[in-house]
Amino acid sequence: MEILRTKVEVRSKLSQVRNSQKNIGFIPTMGALHEGHLMLVENAKLNSDVVVASIFVNPTQFNNVEDFEKYPITVDKDLELLKQKQVDFVFIPTVEELYSSKSILKFDFGYLDNTLEGAFRPGHFSGVGLVVSKLLNIVKPHKSYFGQKDLQQVAVIKRLVEELEFDVQVVTVPTIREHDGLAMSSRNIRLSPEGRTKSTILFQSLTYAKDELKSGKDWFKIKEQVVNRFLHSAMCSLEYFELVDTHTLEIKNSISDVSQASICIAAYVEDVRLIDNLEII
C-alpha cells in the first residue's frame, strides 16, 4: 500500500495505472474508519483492478465549527485497516493541498439543498459537492463507492456526476449495522456507554415505521408515535423523521408504491448528531 500526499503524486501514479488499461475504484472517506467503510473497500476490490481510498476531513462541509473540531481523527488505525484490506493507494492531503486558496465556488443542488440534511445543515452539500469534484478530478476513477446510510449525499453526488458529466460510475453499498441495528458511523465513537445504548432508538423508530406502513397504517399517526417516543426518551432529541421518495428524496405524506420509498431520520443522542434511513421493501 502506497501513501500519497499531493495531487501531483496521485496524478502521476494513477496515470500509469490508466495507461496499463487497469480500472480504478475509489472510496473517499473522512477517516475514523469502521466496517461500513471496509465494505466499500471490499466492493471496490471485487470490481476494480486498483483500489484508491482517501482520508480527508473536509472543512467546507461542516456548518458547525464545533462538530468539525470534534470529528475523530484516527489516521494510524485507518491506515492499518486499509493495509489489511490490501488497498493499493491512500491519498491523505492537507487542507492546503486541496484548498490552495480560499474557495468562493458554491453549489446549488436545488430541492436537495432545502430538505432533510440540506434544511438543517445549510451549505453542507455545497461543501460535499466541492470536495467530491476535486477528488474525482484528481483521482479520475472508473467507479466511486458510497454508503447508503448517507442516502441524500448519494443523491447529491449522483446529480453532481450527471450534470458535470464526470466519467465515473457512482456505486451505492448497503448500510452496515451494529448487532443492535445502529448504523455504523464515525460519530458513534463519541457516544458514552449510556448514549450508545440510547442510540438504538433511531433504528427502532425506522423499523417500527416501516412495519406500520407496510400494514397500511397512516403515515402521520406513525410519525406522531415516533415523535412521542423521542419526547419521552432521555438524552435523545429528534431533528427530523420523514417519508421520502428513495430516488428523488422528495418528502411524501403517503405512498402508493412501497418499493420506491424510504424513511429518513436525524437525531441527537447526547450532543452527537446521527442520521439513518431505511428503504420500505
| Residue 158: exposure state from Cβ atoms within 10 A (0-12, 13-18, ≥19) | middle
- Rounded CA-CA distance 126/156 in Å is 9
The answer on whether 37 is annotated among ligand-binding residues is yes
The answer on whether 5 is annotated among ligand-binding residues is no
The answer on whether 30 is annotated among ligand-binding residues is yes
The answer on whether 149 is annotated among ligand-binding residues is yes
The answer on whether 183 is annotated among ligand-binding residues is no
The answer on whether 121 is annotated among ligand-binding residues is no
The answer on whether 176 is annotated among ligand-binding residues is yes
The answer on whether 32 is annotated among ligand-binding residues is yes
The answer on whether 182 is annotated among ligand-binding residues is no
Residues annotated as catalytic (active site), given as ranges: 37
Residue 188, CA distances (Å) to 72, 140, 143, 231, 266 in order: 10, 31, 28, 22, 14
The answer on whether 152 is annotated among ligand-binding residues is no
Do the beta carbons of residue 139 and residue 165 sit within 8 Å? no
The answer on whether 34 is annotated among ligand-binding residues is yes
The answer on whether 186 is annotated among ligand-binding residues is yes
User: Which H, E and C letters describe the chain, residue by residue?
Assistant: CEEECCHHHHHHHHHHHHHCCCCEEEEEECCCCCHHHHHHHHHHHHHCCEEEEEECCCHHHCCCHHHHHHCCCCHHHHHHHHHHCCCCEEECCCHHHHCCCCCCCCCCCHHHHCCCHHHHCCCHHHHHHHHHHHHHHHHCCCEEEEEHHHHHHHHHHHHHHHHHCCCCEEEEECCCECCCCCECCHHHHHCCHHHHHHCCHHHHHHHHHHHHHHCCCCHHHHHHHHHHHHHCCCCEEEEEEEEEECCCCCEECCCCCHHHEEEEEEEEECCEEEEEEEECC
Do the beta carbons of residue 71 and residue 87 sit within 8 Å? no
The answer on whether 61 is annotated among ligand-binding residues is yes
The answer on whether 153 is annotated among ligand-binding residues is yes
The answer on whether 251 is annotated among ligand-binding residues is no
- Annotated binding residues, written as ranges, equal 30-37, 61, 147-150, 153, 176, 184-187
Binding residues for beta-alanine: 61
Task: Output the known binding site for ATP.
Answer: 30-37, 147-150, 176, 184-187
Residues making up the annotated binding site for (R)-pantoate are 61, 153
